[in-house]
Structure 1
Amino acid sequence: MSVIVELTIPSAAFELGRILRVKGATQLTLETMVPLGGKPTPFVRIRNDARETFERSVREHPSVNEINLVNTHDDESLYALNWEPSDSSLLRRILDLDAALLGATATADTWGLELRFPTHAALSTFQDYYLEEDIEVSIERIYNLTKPDAGPWYGLTGPQRETLTYAVETGYYSLPRQISTQELASTFDISDQAVTERLRRGISTLVLNTLLIDEKED
């Protein structure tokens, strides 16, 4: 099962971050990574008021062969970076694990990356790598993809989503329980049995459309 990870990392902690350093409050966005000529080519978007210093800084980096302006739109410019990533770079490790870079934004000090790993095992290998290399990575969020045809809200109906959300928020699943089944049922003007069944079906739907995707496909 694919797993998506959102993380932050210091700009100086990985090669691409050191190359694409920005100054001040300017934000840089990595639009995509395209494999051209056997190597990943970053397409980077930055505000025009930072273009001059950005271009100069990138061109001076020894790993960069060329930086090309692709287009400008409104107050932003898009660049393609021709560079030589080292075999030991964090980005190379990510690509070797068949992970996809879904998005990235950078400030002067940090990068926020959104990565999709093909399996949890690949993610675990990546975590072993950055811990062993003593790279400071902060995991913000990890989540699985849902079943493609599940629709919005992981396949839950409106009443199921509303009831489950209210049950969690009011402590129905807390220990000790903060709201009774009768009180929960009264809130939605249904019977005790109906609210219990609605919760059961909602939880079952959530599990089937998230945790059990691989088992169902097999």
Structure 2
Amino acid sequence: MPVIIELALPATEFQLGQILATEGEGKITLKTMVPLGGRSVPFFHATDHVREKFEARVRDHPTVSNLYVVSSHNAETLYGLDWKMDTEGFFNSVLTVDGHILEATGGQDTWVFQIRFRTHDALSEFQKDCFESDIPVDIRRIYNPTKPDAGPWYGLTAPQRETLMYAVEMGYYALPRQISTQEIANEFDISDQAASERLRRAIDMLVANTLLLTASDT
């Protein structure tokens, strides 16, 4: 039975957190980690107000071979990162048991992760590895989203949930469409791009934590 864990981890306690450390109120959102040629390539969003110093600091890190811009829109930039990942540590503990990072956000001090494991045994192995490796994870909750009482929002953040519910209620997914993405953006005082991305991520999270989990049990 698949299970999801939500945990917090100091940025100084794992390699990618050290690489992507920001100053002040800057935030980094990890979008995904794509396995390519035996390595995991992170893709992440950074707010533009941290961009110049942030890029220079990341490129100067000894484990980074390349930092590149995938896209940039309004006040956010999407980056890809080539790096030499530790053979030990937090990410290795996740990957060893085939864990999948659903969402991660962090900055100068703390990162918060939502990670899906295929079984409770895999989660136990991950927790054991963290304990034996002195990785100070702060477990906030563990739940199985296929159970009605395991967590009502299936991993969606409050903004994702509110935006998706508003879009459905106002007829964004109706035929013909009753409201535009720009009108949704205006409701939440965000950009059109941000509204589209929030809806995309909300649907991706909802499907990953319901339909895909259920399918993996059959």
Place the TM-score, normalised by the shorter chain, in its bin: 0.5 to 0.7
1:15-51 CA-partner distances (Å, limit 9, x unpaired):
1111111110111100111111221100010111100
CA distance in 1, matches of 2:61, 2:71: 22
Higher mean displacement: 128-137 or 106-115: 128-137
1:30 is matched with which residue? Answer: 30
1:121 CA drift (Å) = 0.7
CA distance in 1, matches of 2:38, 2:134: 28
Q: For residues 154-193 of structure 1, what are the structure 2 equivalents within 5 Å?
A: none
CA distance in 2, matches of 1:64, 1:14: 15
Runs of 4+ aligned structure 1 residues displaced above 3 Å come to none
State the secondary structure of the residue aligned to 2:9. Answer: strand
State the secondary structure of the residue aligned to 2:136. Answer: coil
1:62 CA drift (Å) = 0.8
When normalised by structure 2's length, the TM-score is: 0.67
Q: Is the 8 A contact 2:89 2:133 kept in 1?
A: no
CA distance in 2, matches of 1:54, 1:7: 25
1:153 CA drift (Å) = 8.9
2:202 is matched with which residue? Answer: none
1:98 is matched with which residue? Answer: 98
2:127 is matched with which residue? Answer: 127
Q: Which runs of 5+ in 2 are unaligned?
A: 155-209
Superposition RMSD in Å: 2.4
Q: How many residues align?
A: 156
Q: 1:65 to 1:119 in 2, by over 3 A?
A: same
Q: For residues 1-218 of structure 1, what are the structure 2 equivalents within 5 Å?
A: 1-146=1-146
1:116 CA drift (Å) = 0.2
Decide which structure has the larger Cα Rg and report it. 1
When normalised by structure 1's length, the TM-score is: 0.67
CA distance in 1, matches of 2:20, 2:54: 8
Give aligned-pair identity as a percent: 46
